[in-house]
Amino acid sequence: MPPAHPLATADDTRAWGRVLGRGLRAGDLVVLTGGLGAGKTTLTQGIGEGLGVRGPITSPTFVIARVHPSVVGGPPLVHVDAYRLGGLDELDALDLDESLEECVTVVEWGHGLAEGLAEDYLEVTLSGEDERAATIEGHGPRWVGLELTLR
């Protein structure tokens, strides 16, 4: 099991996301896992800040996906909420694979669904209620041998 990163506050979660966002590039897929209120959207806000995309970043629960263009010449952020999706067919219907190579794609509630979008992906699991923590696990050749400890 990867080491857990303590995230005592929403600001800590956002700051950790900024560090993660600075290390992402076009074609990267990040799958976020955690219960309601675990901080998935807060983490995505930080990732967006690290990438330098236009905000505000809010939960895309009812629109399913939002695209946030870069304001610094980097890749756009595609922010997806898979909570209301009924399965892989509905995720496929979003045509995320059409933009996957040009964007950084973050999928909330994506565990068990979004992994099939790319061979390489990061899975971030947010856990805890009073004392939150995040674990990050890389999958595929892009992430093999890379140091995934974020400070």
Q: How confident is the model at residue 118 (pLDDT cuts 50, 70, 90)?
A: confident
Residue pair 30/148 in contact by the 8 Å Cβ criterion? no
Q: Is the pLDDT of residue 123 over 90?
A: yes
Q: What is residue 93's predicted lDDT score, i.e. its pLDDT?
A: 56
| pTM for this prediction | 0.88
Tell which residue, 124, 112, 92, 93, has the closest CA to residue 28: 124
Q: How many CB atoms lie within 10 A of CB 15?
A: 16
Joined together, the tokens standing for residue 76 give 């756009």
The secondary element (H helix, E strand) that includes residue 30 is strand 29-33
Q: 6 near 15, Cβ under 8 Å? A: no
Beta bridge partners of 5: 134
Q: Where are the domains of the chain?
A: 9-141
Q: What is the pLDDT of residues 54-108, one digit of tens each?
A: 989 988 666 677 889 999 999 999 998 877 666 556 555 555 656 778 899 999 8
What is the C-alpha to C-alpha distance for residues 63 and 45, in angstroms, rounded to an integer? 17
Q: Is residue 16 a contact partner of residue 47, using CB atoms and an 8 Å limit? A: no
The hierarchical CATH code for the domain 9-141 is 3.40.50.300
Q: Chain centroid to CA 103: how far?
A: 12
Residue 22 has φ and ψ, to the nearest 5°, of -65, -25
